[in-house]
Amino acid sequence: MKILCVTTNYPTPEYPIFGIFVKEQIESLRKQGVDCRVFYCDGKGRGGRQYITYVPRLWWHLLTHRYDVIHCHHALSAIILMMTGWPLFRKCVLSYQNDPTREWGDKVFKFLYPFFNKFIFKNRSEYLRHKKCEYLPNGCNTTLFRPMDRNECCEKLGLNPDKHYVLYMDSNKGIRTQKRKDRYDAALELLRSKYGYTNIESIELRNTVREEIPLYINCSSLHLMSSDFEGSPNSVKECMCCNTPVVSTPVGNVQEMIGDIEGSFVTESFTAEELAAKANEVLRSQTPFSGREQFLAKGYSIEHVAEKLINIYKTVIK
């Protein structure tokens, strides 16, 4: 089986965490014996015109190479592919990272629908009612993300093990408004002013080297996710695999992932007040958090997801 992954999100030396989930999914497919190639349309920070330059390059690549399936990651990749005309002649799959309403909109989805054989969604989108749509969240690397000794992790990072570190994670160097850093900051301020915490400190991971992220997660007392919307946030999966509790707004498929795992919470509202209240419950708990096994029993390992994705490819090829 030979797959071409077309993506506008992929790690580079400048942005080592950008699109890391795409890279890790491709690596998991290769471990399963899939011949998986990458065509990266790198336009980050260069404006929309840069993406147009990839259209003739991709057209020529597909003219001179044969693939069983072309897998686009993100709607923008699908638009670039459409401009080559090749979806008329090849089997194509599109993975949305967010709901289509948050990723180029409903009109683009309807435009793409006739030309793609399968659409993969990370959340329980209403678009799953369409025949070609599948639900398959990204998997987590359970070898890299695992429970570690907190004191040792703090020592490696130069952190104080006596402090409560609250984790904020973003794959971008800059600030994405939907992540609502302002809401996160407000929740931490409430923990200090209303709940009396004097030893709380924020850890903000932006474009952090991949190998250091498990260390920071294991140093943290909790991961506080304050977003307005998500697809299937990888940071939640990574924290679950490290046995670090999560408090999150009700976004994406977070309720499905952790809603029934004791010691983590999904708020009913999007207020900083409720985030702080649930964070206080986590910090006051005397029971060590141990949600990893329950979480992984739901099928979120990267190997399990790779097997499901290969089955999707097989149905497309047929």
In sequence order, what DSSP letters do the residues of the chain get, joined into one string? -EEEEEES----SSSTTTTHHHHHHHHHHHHTT-EEEEEE---TTT-HHHHHTHHHHHHHHHHH---SEEEEESHHHHHHHHHHTGGGTS-EEEE-SS-GGGTTHHHHHHHHGGG-SEEEESS--GGGGSTTEEE-PPPB-TTTS----HHHHHHHHT--TTSEEEEEEESSSS--GGG-HHHHHHHHHHHHHTT--SSEEEEEEES--GGGHHHHHHH-SEEEE--S--SS-HHHHHHHHTT--EEE-S-TTHHHHHTTSTT-EE-SS--HHHHHHHHHHHHH--SPP--HHHHHTTS-BHHHHHHHHHHHHHHHH-
Q: In the predicted model, what is the mean pLDDT of residues 54-81?
A: 98
Domains of the chain by residue range:
2-138+301-317, 150-296
Q: In the predicted model, what is the mean pLDDT of residues 11-37?
A: 95
Whole-angstrom distance, CA of residue 84 vs CA of residue 146? 42
Q: In the prediction, which pLDDT does 174 show?
A: 61
pLDDT above 80 for 173: no
Q: In the predicted model, what is the mean pLDDT of residues 287-311?
A: 97
pLDDT above 80 for 297: yes
Q: Which residue, chain included where needed, has tokens 């980050």?
A: 44
CATH number of 2-138+301-317: 3.40.50.2000
Q: In the predicted model, what is the mean pLDDT of residues 64-89?
A: 98
CATH class of 150-296: alpha beta
81: confidence class by pLDDT, cuts 50, 70, 90: very high
Whole-angstrom distance, CA of residue 61 vs CA of residue 49? 20
pLDDT above 90 for 48: no
24 Cα distance to chain centroid: 11
**Can you give the pTM of this predicted structure?**
0.94
Whole-angstrom distance, CA of residue 158 vs CA of residue 177? 30
